[in-house]
Structure 1
Amino acid sequence: RRRKTGRLLTVTLVPEAMKLIKRYMNTDPASPYLFSLITSGEGTEAAYKEYQLALRNFNYQLMILKQVLGLTSEVSSYTARHTWATMAYYCEVHPGVISEAMGHSSITVTETYLKPFKNKKIDEANVAVISSLKKVYRAGKLLN
């Protein structure tokens, strides 16, 4: 389940992801957690605190990686989610599918943060249309 919305997510894992999961997965068969980042009982206040601590640590490590790579944009645990959604949008995946994959409560949530990219796609379409018109115009001029 997605922590933020509580929605159940089903994910098909590609071989590359399975390789990483097997490498880092929790080896305790009694644990309800895939990774051993949280050791407290599921749904407890202690587990939530461990989750928050792990998330802060992850974001801190991302900040260090950002500095090492000389990146100027902000990065966080949400960067991968937003990057996936943006790439899916540019691959012309329907926003409804993106919304479902992200576990959003509605397609409106997804469309809210895809809107800036929609404007960019419109700009790119305009450039492509104008470029095409210029080619047709030049070709017509050469024929006359």
Structure 2
Amino acid sequence: MADKKASVHWEGAGKTGQGKVSTETGALKDYPYGFASRFGDDRKGTNPEEIVGAAHAACFTMAFAFALEAEGLAATAIDTRAAVRLVKDGEGFKIDRIALELDASIPGIDEAKFQAIAKGAKEACPLSKALASVPEITLKATLQG
């Protein structure tokens, strides 16, 4: 497996400076972030927590799809959201919760099997493992129609 790479360029002080984040695939290319997009209401930039949430949701969703496939099942739709909470921690900050929400349409599955596969995918997801120091990672899984 190859390393997946990202880079950041920052100019200025912490509160007034501006950063640009890029990924080797070009999915993010000099995308802005800074204090206002992290702690304020600036919606023109991103922030590390939003990126972690997107990565965790993507990783979990793929792990779930593979777990379904291993059971001979396939989803017609999987939608996952992640909410990452950043809180004050002494002089700094920490992520104290990641809440994953899964909505999926899967023909031929019952609720118990669905919940078991979702739980297993959450535990097996490489980003769930990498984020194990987060005190609370929750999953609300809803089987649609």
TM-score, normalised by the number of residues in structure 1: 0.32
User: Greater CA radius of gyration, 1 or 2?
Assistant: 1
